[in-house]
Amino acid sequence: MVRRLLVTLLFLLLTLVCTWQVVTFARDWTLQNLHQQGSDELLKVITQLRSALDEYRYLPFLISQDTDVKALLVDPSPSIAREVSLYLEQINLVAGSSSLFVLNSDGNTAAYSHWRDEQEFIQRSHRRQDYYKQALAGNRGGQFSLNEHNQSPAYFLSSPVYNGTQFSGAAVVRVELEAMVKKLRSTGEVILRDQTGTIFYTTAPFNRFKSIKEQVNVEVTLLTSGVVTRLWKRGSDQWLSRSVALDDLSWQVSVLTDTEVVKRNVRNAALFSFGGCIALGLFALWFRERQLKLRSQNVTRETLAKSEAQQKAIINNAQVGLLLIDERGHITFANDMALQQFAVSMPLILAKPLLELLASDGITPIARVLHRLGEKGFSPLVGYEAVGSRSDGTEFPLLISIRKMQGYEAKQFLVTVIDISRRKGLEIQLQKANESLEHKVEERTLALREAQEELVQAGKMAVLGRMSTAIVHELNQPLTAIRNYVAICRQVMTQPEMLEESLLEVDGLTQRMAQITAQLKTYAYKKPEQKQPVSMQMVLENSLQMFKQRIADEDVRLKLDLPEKTLYVLGDNARLEQVVVNLVKNAIDAMQGRADKELQIELIEDSNSQQLQLQVIDNGEGIDPALLANLFDPFITSKPMGDGLGLGLAIVKSIMRDLNGDISAGNTEQGGAVFTLQLPICETN
């Protein structure tokens, strides 16, 4: 075993070394060819570029020799300037240049081919431009420029204009780079850069007017042949670069060749080399294994014969019914358990169709599986419940599985039969017990629900009983006052104005007593059984209508933030309005004593959770943090004795619970209180 492992490792090592050598050769050879192709393409591009530029070199000299141009520079009259501009316009159209213009000795524009629509250019000075300075020195000028406004690269050609021997101006031709390079033809990607390395023209997927160093990583590679190559890499893209600097144009010209062919050749070389070595090794291994196989075949035959004998013994002693069937579904073998299950003898069961042992109409999944026994689409049947038929006519439930036998020359299929009569009986008993238990659970759940509702109601009544002392105290004060005012009325019967004042006080006290009893009645009120869709905008409108006069009298600034879409919830108008009225009243009461009272009400829809949120915010003193935990409990209040029982928020909490909603309270950063209601949205058709 160790020897075989060492031989395998040595073979793999030799294969990897051979593959590495082949891959290195293929890579260097391909890069060298691409390097030569790039040099040829670079020379072709430079030739095409200079040829395109030479098409415009004659224009400055041609213009400088025109008599009207010379006359304009000697006598710059408007009429001559117009004639020269028309002349330049015609030449520009014929030559296909971008623009032509004539500069005077001061470097200012004397005539311009685009004089009709670019008056601003005529007022521009060119004294600092290289093409003017070169013409002033008596030379034919050339300058590359990148427009600062529209980032448009252009090349300027100039020629001096003389009046005799005296310099009088310069003729300039402007050629857009796009017009020059559109004639370039190359199989690679062409990139033109200025002296700073900024790209101003490219056919490759690079950003123009940005430095090439910001966009690619350059890798210098020395090939085995001594050739130095430059690879430009950006992400997963890679090119071989051939570049040259054109000093007369101040340009750097680069031609990029895609290195995909390098990757392909390297991949093919690796596959061929590695595959060839592996194939050679596999052939040697096959030859050796063939010799071993011939020697082991005799041993295998003897082992197979013994295995078949053991399998038959196991089948005959198995505790499940086992049948062998052929492609037609006919039984060719049955063990003793199968004969016992179907109450039949071996001679009667052999060559009998399997379907005859089952109580089926022939359209069951078993029939479909048997129909595909000899086809490619056959799939095994595992654990299918069916009904077996014994020879005496009785039936019994069974689990049947059909699988293909492996290792046999003839197609044989194994059928497993398990009698599940006892399990079926237990399942029936269990099902009856479950049904009885479910019925009892439903009855008990219903009883518990009714008991819970009664306990809730009883709890409310118990709370009302515990608060009897507070109720007596609250009602005793107005009753005592009423008796006093009645006594006063008897004494002032002769003074009607004082009598009316006392009666008004009595009326107010009775209304206060009615409010106390109304709160108690509301707290003990049992929720209605039926709900209906209610518009929250309508609830807010009706509730705020009750405070319209008070808001105006107390100078409360009301801010309403409502959505355009009408939002509905399931409930009833009365209880929802009671919730809003309680919250608005508490908010206005909390702002007593403030000069700038502000009440803010926001209605927000949360489409993700299908909930609406109603916030009531005031700018009062806020809620005491010690009361926040128990704020919604009965008889919890921050108001002085006699101003309330502390049932308002408890009633609101109870109503929100009945409507499947919730309420929370807190303080704002400015110090006021904020109450937040959350209710599920009801969709209406």
Mean pLDDT of 325-347: 86
Using one digit for the tens of pLDDT, what is the confidence trace for 48-83? 777 777 777 888 888 888 888 888 888 888 888 888
Cα three-residue angle 526-530-532, rounded to 5 degrees = 125
Predicted TM-score (pTM) of the model is: 0.35
Half-sphere exposure of 601 (CA within 13 A, CB side): 20
Q: What is the pLDDT, as a whole number, of residue 510? A: 73
Rounded to the nearest 5°, which phi and psi values hold at 102? -115, 130
Coil vs helix vs strand at 340: helix
Cα three-residue angle 137-142-144, rounded to 5 degrees = 130
Using one digit for the tens of pLDDT, what is the confidence trace for 452-465? 666 556 555 555 55
Mean pLDDT of 674-679: 92
- Count CB neighbours of 57 within 10 A: 15
Torsion of Cα atoms, 51 then 53 then 57 then 59, to 10°: 110
pLDDT at residue 34 tops 50: yes
Average pLDDT, the chain: 79
Higher pLDDT, 87 or 363: 87
Q: Are strands 381-389 and 109-112 parallel, antiparallel or unpaired?
A: unpaired
Mean pLDDT of 198-227: 77
Q: What is the 3-state secondary structure (H, E, C) of 655-671?
A: HHHHCCCEEEEEECCCC
| Tokens found for residue 474 | 């609250």
Name which of 31-45, 150-164, 492-506 the model is least confident about.
492-506
Higher pLDDT, 550 or 490: 550
pLDDT at residue 615 tops 90: yes
Instruction: Give the separation between CA 158 and CA 175, rounded to whole angstroms.
Output: 11
Question: Distance of alpha carbon 396 from its chain centroid, rounded?
Answer: 57
Name which of 175-184, 330-339, 519-528, 541-550 the model is least confident about.
519-528
Higher pLDDT, 264 or 630: 264
Coil vs helix vs strand at 581: helix
Using one digit for the tens of pLDDT, what is the confidence trace for 281-330? 788 888 888 888 888 887 887 877 777 677 667 766 777 888 888 888 88
pLDDT at residue 659 tops 70: yes
Using one digit for the tens of pLDDT, what is the confidence trace for 389-405? 888 888 888 888 888 88
Q: What percent of the chain has pLDDT over 70?
A: 83
Q: What is the pLDDT, as a whole number, of residue 369? A: 83
Q: What is the pLDDT, as a whole number, of residue 523? A: 47
| Tokens found for residue 660 | 């499947």
Mean pLDDT of 173-191: 75
What are the residue boundaries of the structural domains of the chain, listed by start? 318-415, 468-521, 528-680
pLDDT at residue 616 tops 90: yes
Mean pLDDT of 353-377: 77
| Tokens found for residue 636 | 């919890």
The model's confidence at residue 614, banded by pLDDT at 50, 70 and 90, is very high
Contact 639, 649 (CB under 8 A): no
**Cα–Cα separations (whole angstroms), residue 285 to 273, 489, 651:** 18, 128, 90
The helix (run of H) or strand (run of E) holding residue 381 is: strand 381-389
CATH of the domain spanning 528-680, picked from 3.30.565.10, 3.30.450.20, 1.10.1740.10, 3.40.1110.10: 3.30.565.10
pLDDT at residue 33 tops 90: no
| Tokens found for residue 235 | 């992400």
Q: What is the pLDDT, as a whole number, of residue 549? A: 84
Check residue 276 and give left, alpha or beta (phi > 0: left; psi -120 to 50: alpha). alpha
Rounded to the nearest 5°, which phi and psi values hold at 325? -125, 155
Instruction: Give the separation between CA 465 and CA 471, rounded to whole angstroms.
Output: 10
The model's confidence at residue 642, banded by pLDDT at 50, 70 and 90, is very low
Instruction: Give the separation between CA 155 and CA 49, rounded to whole angstroms.
Output: 12
pLDDT at residue 610 tops 80: yes
Name which of 47-51, 382-386, 413-417 the model is least confident about.
47-51
Contact 73, 104 (CB under 8 A): yes
Cα three-residue angle 35-41-45, rounded to 5 degrees = 145
Q: What is the pLDDT, as a whole number, of residue 14? A: 82
Instruction: Give the separation between CA 674 and CA 15, rounded to whole angstroms.
Output: 78
Name which of 227-231, 381-385, 537-541 the model is least confident about.
227-231
Instruction: Give the separation between CA 172 and CA 155, rounded to whole angstroms.
Output: 10
Mean pLDDT of 561-577: 87
The model's confidence at residue 598, banded by pLDDT at 50, 70 and 90, is very high
Question: Distance of alpha carbon 678 from its chain centroid, rounded?
Answer: 29
pLDDT at residue 145 tops 50: yes
**First vs last C-alpha separation in the chain:** 80
Q: What is the pLDDT, as a whole number, of residue 634? A: 64
Q: Which residue's structure tokens are 């291994």?
A: 285
The model's confidence at residue 151, banded by pLDDT at 50, 70 and 90, is low
What class, spelled out in words, does domain 318-415 have in CATH? alpha beta
pLDDT at residue 446 tops 80: yes
β-sheet bridge partners, residue 664 = 676
Instruction: Give the separation between CA 142 and CA 425, rounded to whole angstroms.
Output: 106
Rounded to the nearest 5°, which phi and psi values hold at 544? -70, -25
Contact 539, 576 (CB under 8 A): yes
Q: What is the 3-state secondary structure (H, E, C) of 432-461?
A: HHHHHHHHHHHHHHHHHHHHHHHHHHHHHH
Q: Which residue's structure tokens are 């507070």?
A: 470
Which range has highest mean pLDDT (168-182, 346-360, 577-591, 635-649)?
Answer: 577-591
Q: Where are the beta strands (DSSP E) in 247-380?
A: 251-258, 321-325, 331-334
Using one digit for the tens of pLDDT, what is the confidence trace for 429-444? 888 888 888 888 888 8
**Cα–Cα separations (whole angstroms), residue 595 to 550, 560, 591:** 15, 20, 9
Coil vs helix vs strand at 571: strand
Mean pLDDT of 189-197: 77
Instruction: Give the separation between CA 633 and CA 95, rounded to whole angstroms.
Output: 94
Mean pLDDT of 254-270: 78
Q: Which residue's structure tokens are 């040259």?
A: 244
